[in-house]
Amino acid sequence: MAVLLDAKYIRSNPDEVRAALAKRKKEVNLDKFLALDEKRRSILSEVEQLKNKRNVVSQEIARLKKEKKDAEALIAEMQQVSGTIKELDDKVREVEAELNDILLTIPNIPHESVPLGESDNDNIEVRRWGTPREFGFEPRPHWDIGEDLGILDFATAAKVTGARFTFYKGLGARLERALFNFMVDLHATEHGYTEVFPPYMVHRHSMVGTGQLPKFEEDAFKVAGTDYFLIPTAEVPVTNMYREQILDSDQLPIYHVAYSACFRAEAGSAGRDTRGLIRQHQFNKVELVKFTRPEDSYEELEKLTRDAEDVLRLLGLPYRVSMLCAADLGFSSAKTYDLEVWMPSYGRYVEISSCSNFEDFQARRADIKYRPGPNEKARYVHTLNGSGVAVGRTVAAILENYQQEDGSVIIPERLRPYMGDVERICK
């Protein structure tokens, strides 16, 4: 593979890149990069001259041989040249590998509309929908509600597997299944997304393509004895569907919706959200993925975010949308809106979806292009994705927001057709 990322851009706009990365509060050794880049080009031009010579003289040798003339002197000389070429080629390879290592650790450049900031405290609330309900009693956390109703069983999952796993039982399992069916149907039939059902394991290249590797290997589950990783999100297989492809302009935009289980090691999250459904090693998610022309991608991000919000609106769950500041932005993203649902037991909004425009960052790494018009040069597409939405957290939000004083939970109306018309989960 070894697709060189946009070395040219960094070379010609080093200050701009430096400034953009500073926004993220990330250290990147650009000077080393620029020096290596310089070195690469100088060796390259040297070796290319030698190769030119080799090509020319080889023709000459062929001609001499045809005429039955002596070519021994030229052949001897070319043996030397070939040796040198081999050495220089090795050196170029070495330098390129180093360059690539650096490039793969450089995060995306934040979009100009993204605010500066130091932490998630500096994210900007864009809008809110719905009003958190007034409870006439002390609202309980979803894990208590779920366990009391016999629909969530954390203890048994801990016995069978370990911490951060859950058994859903009875109407709990039904609720989970109803939710992802509802979400996929909504996006596929009302928002124009084509449904896909992806593999749950991908190889290393795909993880590099969407930016999970090489920087975040400890966050992923690796399948022993293989080079496969359990997907942390359907974004990985779905975005990589079009890797190393040149799409026709009229294929764009491409919209996909995918339900999948997601697997995350949650390294570094020890002690955070240890109870309940909020942070699990395995959870279900419905993911929206778009491939668009560069000039359309920001408009498409707004639409994608609205599509995700629709899920929460139709379920009657109060939420807010916030724009992440540069310091809180994910590695691959140029701009991200988080959807946060109201969680009564937390007394605050909790992330339930993250909608991002990656611009051409993933497209470069995965080599996804399109041809703007006949005989035009292929360009990188822009990729976007967002959760539409995280299913486990939606279950948590429904249990908490729709809980009743007697411990039962009312099912949102829109969901009832998927629940066999069950209106309420009782003991």
Q: Which residues are catalytic?
A: 264, 279, 351, 354, 393
Among 15, 68, 73, 79, binds RNA (CB under 7 A): 79
Residue with smaller CB distance to RNA, 41 or 414: 41
Residue with smaller CB distance to RNA, 90 or 148: 90
- Cα–Cα distance between 148 and 181 in angstroms, integer? 25
Structure tokens at 288: 């929206």
Among 34, 75, 104, 241, binds RNA (CB under 7 A): 75
Instruction: Find all residues with CB under 8 Å of 128, minimum gap 6, and list them.
Output: 318, 319, 320, 321
Could you say which residues in the range 357-386 bind RNA, by CB under 7 A? Answer: 369, 371, 374-375, 377-378
Residue with smaller CB distance to RNA, 93 or 127: 93
243 forms part of the interface with RNA (CB under 7 A): no
CB 37, min distance to RNA, A: 7
Lookup result for tokens 């209106």: 423
Could you say which residues in the range 196-235 bind RNA, by CB under 7 A? Answer: none
173 forms part of the interface with RNA (CB under 7 A): no
Residue with smaller CB distance to RNA, 74 or 158: 74
156 forms part of the interface with RNA (CB under 7 A): no
Give how far Cα 277 sits from Cα of 141, 147, 195, 247, Å: 10, 12, 26, 39
136 forms part of the interface with RNA (CB under 7 A): no
Residue with smaller CB distance to RNA, 41 or 191: 41
Could you say which residues in the range 40-69 bind RNA, by CB under 7 A? Answer: 41, 44-45, 47-49, 51-52, 54-59, 61-62, 65
Pairing of strands 319-323, 335-343: antiparallel
Count of residues that bind RNA according to CB under 7 A: 36
CB 305, min distance to RNA, A: 31
- Cα–Cα distance between 268 and 142 in angstroms, integer? 24
347: left (phi over 0), alpha (psi -120 to 50) or beta: left
CB 58, min distance to RNA, A: 4
What angle separates helix 391-401 from helix 142-149, to the nearest 10 degrees? 80
251 forms part of the interface with RNA (CB under 7 A): no
Asked if 142 and 350 count as a contact pair (C-beta separation under 8 A), the reply is no
CB 254, min distance to RNA, A: 16
150: left (phi over 0), alpha (psi -120 to 50) or beta: left
CB 211, min distance to RNA, A: 19
Strand partners, 322: 125, 338
141: left (phi over 0), alpha (psi -120 to 50) or beta: beta
87 forms part of the interface with RNA (CB under 7 A): no
Residue with smaller CB distance to RNA, 52 or 156: 52
Find the angle CA(184)-CA(354)-CA(189) to the nearest 5 degrees. 20
Q: Which stretch binds RNA (CB under 7 A): 1-9, 27-35, 119-127, 269-277?
A: 1-9
Among 18, 86, 127, 159, binds RNA (CB under 7 A): 86
3-state secondary structure string, 263-321? ECCCCCCCCCCCCCCCCCCEEEEEEEEEEECHHHHHHHHHHHHHHHHHHHHHCCCCEEE
84 forms part of the interface with RNA (CB under 7 A): no
- Cα–Cα distance between 126 and 128 in angstroms, integer? 7
CB 316, min distance to RNA, A: 38
At 420 the three-state DSSP class reads: coil
- Cα–Cα distance between 90 and 84 in angstroms, integer? 10
CB 382, min distance to RNA, A: 16
88 forms part of the interface with RNA (CB under 7 A): no
CB 223, min distance to RNA, A: 13
- Cα–Cα distance between 386 and 289 in angstroms, integer? 7
Residue with smaller CB distance to RNA, 92 or 145: 92
**Which one, of 150, 164, 167, lies nearest residue 399 by Cα?**
150
Residue with smaller CB distance to RNA, 306 or 371: 371
194 forms part of the interface with RNA (CB under 7 A): no
- Cα–Cα distance between 99 and 40 in angstroms, integer? 9
Lookup result for tokens 């022309």: 293
The amino acid occupying position 287 is E
Interface with RNA (CB under 7 A): 1-2, 4, 7-8, 41, 44-45, 47-49, 51-52, 54-59, 61-62, 65, 75, 78-79, 81-82, 86, 93, 246, 369, 371, 374-375, 377-378
